[in-house]
Amino acid sequence: MKIIEQQQRVANFLAALAHLLTGKSGRFKEFREHADMTLAGASPCYRNLAYFSSQLRKPGRPLLWVHFSQENPSVPEIGLVTDVGSQKHYVENCILYLPKNADRAFLVPDGFKMGAYRFDNALNLRYRQNAPRQTFEAAREDVNRAYQRLSSVQAEQWQRGDVFDLPFHAKAA
């Protein structure tokens, strides 16, 4: 695969992720104005999240850290740095969660004990103290739905020939 094609596939993935988190297609550019996105070669961990968020993140904006592991390349690891009130939340791994009949996905910390995050219509990231489900087993169907939807959005974009620019941070990280 050529480098240009790889970059286009990454850009399409990030646009599909934005679609899933906003509930609509065509909001990738607007999403990037509200959230920073970083594609990284390393798994999200507190040290990396803290360092890169201090270097790349604009104040008040969430940072989504996306990593594809060799073990499971179809399910990205998603780290998150965001402000909740006067606190800064560093989440090393979020799982996508899409309830049945919902238009947008939640980002749920993988233990299902630390609440959940969801973008509202104005693309502000909102925190809720309780996860939509209390365990991964209870959430399995909705988690599978989220990743299936993410894959189908990517495939639809690719078939249509949609072209997206990589966010600066996706190129830089």
Tens-digit pLDDT profile for residues 82-92: 999 888 999 99
List of residues 6+ apart from 4 with CB closer than 8 A: none
Amino acid letter, residue 33:
E
Q: CA nearest 170: which of 35, 2, 59, 11?
A: 11
pTM of the full structure: 0.89
Express as a percent the part of the chain with pLDDT over 90: 56
CB 62 within 8 A of CB 125: yes
Mean pLDDT of 149-172: 78
Buried b (16+ CB within 10 A) or exposed e, 3-29: eeeebbebbbbbbbbbbbbbeeeebbe
Structure token digits, residue 167 = 């966010």
CB 25 within 8 A of CB 153: yes
Given a cut of 50, whether residue 55 has pLDDT beyond it is yes
Given a cut of 60, whether residue 1 has pLDDT beyond it is no
What pLDDT digit, counting tens, does each position of 105-135 carry? 999 998 899 999 999 999 999 999 999 999 9
